[in-house]
Amino acid sequence: MIIANRKVSSLAVLLLVALFPLCGCPKKAEVASAPEAQAPGGPQKEMVTQPATPSPESARQAEEMKEKAGTAAQALKPIYFDFDKYFIRDDAKDVMKANAAWLKAHPHVKIRIEGNCDEKGTKEYNQALGQRRATSAEKYLVDLGISSKRISLISYGKEKPVCTESDESCWQKNRRDDFAPNE
């Protein structure tokens, strides 16, 4: 009887050892450079059909969207951050309030907050820092009454500099959040 129990125990241990590699290990989390939006229940594909020729009404609506996008790009001002920081500075709070006021006056405009960094640091670190900067700006706008449904986020890290010189005045220009129309 004891020998049979040992055989069963040995067999169970061998089976567990053999199945262990199939379980796998958790993967390292990756920083997303763009948020993913999915409907509850997983990704769904949507069939979109367009008329062969646009109607005058749809052409007018497309023109209005282009106009709103151009207006948003001109009206919404960037904000700047200190080195390795993502909190909204005092000098950026007035800009954020003006951006929020413009968004309240244009309730159908959706925006994308683009987090940016200077060239210092690794690509991965700057992607994460840019995401934290964009998230911080989103939270500030939501606290000012802007719906989070109107806001999407993306981090460009150090990939989209506005200045390419390697000095402090240039780096300061690259530590920013841009606000762009999101169609």
Residue 4: predicted pLDDT: 55
Residue 41: predicted pLDDT: 46
AA identity, residue 95: V
DSSP result, 34-54: S-----TTS---------SS-
The CA distance from 94 to 76, in Å, is 12
What are the helix (H) ranges across 76-145? 90-105, 123-143
Burial code of 80-102, b = ≥16 C-beta within 10 A, e = fewer? bbeeeebebeeebeebbeebbeb
- Own/partner contacts of 41-48, CB < 8 Å, gap of 24 or more, are none
Residue 14: predicted pLDDT: 56
Q: For the chain, which residues make up each domain, given as ranges?
A: 67-183
The CA distance from 167 to 94, in Å, is 27
pLDDT in tens, the chain (183 residues): 555 556 656 665 555 555 545 554 444 433 444 443 444 444 444 444 454 555 677 666 656 655 655 577 789 999 999 999 999 999 999 999 999 999 999 999 999 999 999 999 999 999 999 999 999 999 999 999 999 999 999 999 999 999 999 899 999 999 999 999 987
> Are 117 and 179 within 8 A, CB to CB?
no
Fold designation for 67-183:
60s Ribosomal Protein L30; Chain: A; (3.30.1330)
Residue 70: predicted pLDDT: 59
Considering just the CA atoms, what is the radius of gyration of the chain in Å? 25
Residue 147: predicted pLDDT: 97
- The percent of residues in the chain predicted with pLDDT above 70, rounded, is 62
> Are 116 and 174 within 8 A, CB to CB?
yes
Q: In what helix (H) or strand (E) does residue 153 lie, and over which residues does it extend?
A: strand 151-157
Residue 132: predicted pLDDT: 98
Enter the tokens of residue 51.
């008329």
pTM of the model: 0.63
- Tens digits of per-residue pLDDT, 39-87? 444 444 444 445 455 567 766 665 665 565 557 778 999 999 999 999 9
